[in-house]
Every structure is written in structure tokens, then in C-alpha cells.
Chains A and B, each alone.
Chain A
């Protein structure tokens, strides 16, 4: 029961009507939730009540919006963020992976029939990890130093950026050119296409040719070219229209082959430079210089005598 102040008996004596405007004039010690006695004494108690109501309304609306947004986010996360949606793409047998790896080097002539593009992520992921390991091997062999980073971070960044970045670009171009290929198929195609890069990097690191790059360009043309032709064949069979086919095939061929050139000249070239520098080391010629100095000093000694 509300505690009544001194004025109440006075008010009750005079009138049965309670003027709420007078309530804020004094502290009646009531235990209402809202302390209306704190308002200004010049009749702006209504303003304070309105402000309070507005503030409560704002808080309630904010809370409702926050709850609705949280539920939407949770629903979206459970739908798209659940990594279990990737499980079907890892359901493969060893012989299937082996067959697909070999087929990535065997291009087929484009025909009216659609060439098969697999929806699988295990094989491409393993090829990317293999490329990362080979790049680490190459960088370690060349004693390549990375400023502001690590070898592992560089290798991961380069390989995954190429794989996902190129897949995103090709997906966009496929959407524009109306090609019948999905993002998972593009990821799978590009991933298996990197098998050629792995072979070239491995052979190029194990076999050094210090004079020219003919051996590398030969490998680049053979293995890089075969894997590129395979990818181009698949995309051409799923695209209609000459200009669309030209755009897609030229883009993927250029990016794929230029990436292999980048991997060679960014990380492997250092090995060749080091070999050349070590072969022409001036420290090796020092004994000849010492002998020449002795000969000259002997000649001078003979002349003075």
C-alpha cells in the first residue's frame, strides 16, 4: 500500500480528486516503480512521464529487434554455417581419387556431349596441400627468407588464394556467360588442375639446370598445358556461344599458366641465382692473387738491386 505523505489528508479533506500534477511536487515516499517525485516542480512532471514512457518504448523495441535479429542469424548459421553440408563432397574411394588425378592430365576434345565435372573436395584439397608442401620444400632448399611473415603462411596464402580466388572469378564469369557449371565443380576442376603444377614444381626442384630455363619451359608446356586443356575442354562443353567460350577458356588458361610461371620465378629462381653466385665466387681465386703479388714484389726487389 502506497505510503501517503502529509498532503494527502489535506487533499482528502478538500477533494476526492487527486491531481497527478501535484504528485511530483513533493516526495511522498511512495514505492512506485517510477519515482515521479524527482521531476521538476514547475509542472513538467508530464514531460518526465513522457520521456520515461518513450525511453521504455525505445528499450522494448530495441530488445525486440535484437531478439529477432539474433534468431535470424542463428537460423542462417544453422543452415549455411554447418560444415556438415560439405560431408557429401568428401565421400570418395581411393580408386576414384586415383582415376580423377590421372584424368586431369588427359584432355578430351570438346563435343556436343557435356564432359563430366566432379563434385568432390577431398582430391582437390589434397592436391592443394601437396602444392603447399612442395613450395615449402622449394623455399627451404633455396633458403628463401620471408620478411614480415613465415614460409608456412606464405605458402598457405598463395595456394588457397589462387584456388578460391580463381574459382570465385570463374564462377562470376560463368554466371555472366551462362555456363552450366557450379561453384563446387569449379573448385574441384581447378584443384585437380593443380596436379600439373605439383609435378612441375617437384621435378624443377629436384633437377637443377643452371644455364637456362629450357627444362622448366618444357615441363610447363607439357604438364601445365595438359591440365589447362583438360579444364578448358570441360568448360567449353558446358558453355554455348562463341564469345562466351572464348572469354572463359582464355581466362582460365591465362591464370592457370601464369600462376605456374609465378611459382617458378618467385621461389625457384633464387636457387639458380645462388648456384651461379657460388660458382663464380672471388674467394676461390685468392691464391692466384697472392702469387701475383709475390711475383710483382720479387720483380721490384730485383730491379732495385
Chain B
């Protein structure tokens, strides 16, 4: 029993590591079955890290993160179900959007040290939003076999992460 639990924990950690690496390297091709194991622990950790780093900047925005996350996930779930042939589950959407929040966590951590309202801040913000949307669209199209529609998936992801960027900057 203990061995089974250990194996399950190792498998979960392995899934988290793969998905995190897939986000950190957006130019690497994603495996088709990577999102078969939907994991919500990783996205939860990243959301808490995002809220925590904003708190270090003097902003208590946990409620906004939750609200924007829920609305964004619902909108993406509706849109992807309309656009894809196979359909997608809520868990998959939450998992992908949550993991791809990692660049935004890095941006909000950098906001502790430097102001994001200057030119450097604007460039970093745009870079983070593009990174998040590119990673998330890559994972979605690989899971749903929608390679020719990646720009159409990337744009709404970019809007969701753009709203998160507004929380970070203002």
C-alpha cells in the first residue's frame, strides 16, 4: 500500500515537472497526451504564488485572481468546446491555464524589485503575456489537434493573461 502511494506521488510529481517544463520552454513540441492527467495542485500553487508575490508589492488581490481565473476558465471552456471536434473538459482547461500562469508569477516577483510602469516594465509585461499565451495555446492545440487554429486559441488566452498583467502593473 505504501509502495502504491509512493508510486502515485512520484507519478504526480513527474506530471507536474513535465508540465512545468513544457511551459518554461514554449518552443519545445508538446506531447499529445500530456494533458490527459489533469492536475489542479500545480495551478493552485501557481495562483497562490502569484497572489503572494503581489502581496509582497503591497496588493491584496487574491479575490481578483480567483474571479478572473474563474471567468477566464469558463470563457475558454466554452470557446474550445465550440471550436474543437472532440471537446475539452473543465479540468484540462483549468490545468493548462493554471500551469501557464508561471511567467506571470515571474513577472509579479520582478515587480517587487523594479517598477513595471516604465519602459522596461512594459517590455517585460508584454513578453510575459506573449509567453503565457504561446505556451497555453501550444498545449491546447496539441491536446485537441487544432494545429491550424493556434492563433485563434492564442488570442483569447492572451486576453486572459493580459487582465492578469493589469493586476500586476496597476
A residues with a Cβ closer than 8 A to B are: 83, 86-87, 89-94, 97, 122, 125-126, 129-130, 133, 136-137, 140-141, 150, 152
Contacts and interface: CB of A to CB of B under 8 A. Distances in A.
A152 B152 contact: no
A152 B71 contact: yes
A136 B166 contact: yes
A141 B81 CA distance: 34
B152 A94 contact: yes
B152 A83 contact: no
Given A87-B82, A94-B148, 5 more contacts: A83-B82, A90-B83, A93-B148, A126-B159, A141-B170
B166 A137 contact: yes
Contact of B152 (A92, A137, A141, A150): A92
B163 interface: yes
A126 B170 contact: no
B75 A94 contact: no
Contacts of A91: 83
A136 B82 contact: no
Contacts of A122: 79, 82-83, 152
Contacts of B159: 126, 129-130, 133
Interface in B128-162: 148-149, 151-152, 155-156, 159, 162
Interface of B: 67-68, 71, 75, 78-79, 81-83, 148-149, 151-152, 155-156, 159, 162-163, 166, 170
A292 B155 CA distance: 60
A136 B166 CA distance: 8
Contacts of B162: 133
A94 B78 CA distance: 19
Contacts of B148: 93-94
Contact of B149 (A86, A93, A125): A93
A87 B162 CA distance: 26
B155 A126 contact: yes
| Ranked 5 nearest A-B pairs via Cβ | A90-B82, A140-B170, A94-B151, A90-B83, A133-B159
A130 B159 CA distance: 7
Given A90-B82, A140-B166, A126 B156 contact: yes
A133 B149 contact: no
Contacts of A90: 79, 82-83
Given A129-B156, A130-B159, A140-B170, A152 B79 contact: no
A70 B54 CA distance: 50
A122 B151 CA distance: 12
Contacts of A93: 148-149
